Amino acid sequence: MKVFNGLFDSAALDVNIKGMADAEMEYPLSYGYSLVGKVVKCGSSVSDAETLIGKLVFSFSPHASRHVLDRDAVQIVPDGISAEDAIFMPSVETALSLVHDANVRLGESVAIYGQGLIGLLVTAILSKGNIAGNYFLGSVTTFDMVPARLACSCLMGATDALLPSQAENAGPYDVSIEISGNGRALQSAIDHTISNGRIILGSWYGNKDIKLKLGIDFHRSHKTIITSQVSEISASLRGLWTKSRRFNLTWELVKVLRPSRLLTKTARLDDAQSTYELLDKGEEIAVAFIYY
């Protein structure tokens, strides 16, 4: 949505994805990073060509009906995962990265600000701690301004799904994860996180300025604000985790979470303008473009 609305500053499309590291985020721009399709032809130097032909594969590639890709730029979609679920692989990886960076411990209460697609997937992953109706996490409370998103949040396992106006009486929380892209939500996350707690900042604000009140209470609180971004493994985890290991776990989560249930619309690329406008208004949660 930042790219759609022009609210971005020029930078590499992605620092770790082949083909994107050398491309700048500037117009004209072929955007997208979640393509799923079937292999129809392989070059003579592809050693596993016979295995690949006809396989459902995933690639971090822009919206397009066809792509010519290096062999190491595609991942075979594991058995038991549909194309409709596989397109959510980058979103689930982002949610997993946020959960890893939040490092939520047993018994801790969590607030998630923003229940767009990534927020809902974070909710779903954290809510897997709900066993027989009991949260080994203290709670998973979500905030959003769109009623339909709050309803989905409950379906994904939130303990409570609340309007932002209810935050004052709902906290404080040990951990707050802000993924709304709204500066007011970040302020609420800071205000309603307990002293010595952690605020995980997953939003990309682009070139938009935001204002925060960081007065004496914040100064004395010893709260930690941690930025989280999926392109790289955070320094604290690099001794144990690699991108390959995280990809493998992401596919397992895709299989368990079945994120295609969050799809509210499928569209042709010709309908991209009107579709993105609906997303911008909060009238859709997740959209898939279909090519055939």
What three-state secondary structure class fits 141? strand
**Average pLDDT rounded to a whole number, residues 267-292:** 90
Average pLDDT, the chain: 89
Instruction: Give the pLDDT confidence of 194-215 residue by residue, as tens digits.
Output: 999 999 999 888 777 889 999 9
| Res 147 pLDDT > 80 | yes
pLDDT of residue 253: 95
State phi, psi for 130 to the nearest 5 degrees. -85, 105
| Residue 172, H or E segment | none
Q: Judging by DSSP bridges, how do beta strands 130-131 and 134-135 pair with one another? A: antiparallel
Instruction: Give the pLDDT confidence of 37-96 residue by residue, as tens digits.
Output: 999 999 999 999 999 999 999 999 888 888 999 999 999 999 999 999 999 999 999 999
pTM exceeding 0.85: yes
pLDDT of residue 115: 96
Q: Give the Cα separation of 45 and 50 in Å (integer).
A: 12
Question: 90-227 has which fold?
Answer: Rossmann fold (3.40.50)
Of residues 143 and 62, the one with the higher pLDDT is: 143
pLDDT of residue 18: 65
Q: Give the Cα separation of 209 and 230 in Å (integer).
A: 22
pLDDT confidence bin for 159, thresholds 50/70/90: very high
Task: Write down how long the chain is.
Answer: 292
Q: How far is CA 130 from the centre of its chain?
A: 21
| Res 132 pLDDT > 90 | no
Domain residue spans of the chain: 90-227
Q: Give the Cα separation of 52 and 157 in Å (integer).
A: 37
pLDDT of residue 164: 94
**Average pLDDT rounded to a whole number, residues 258-284:** 92
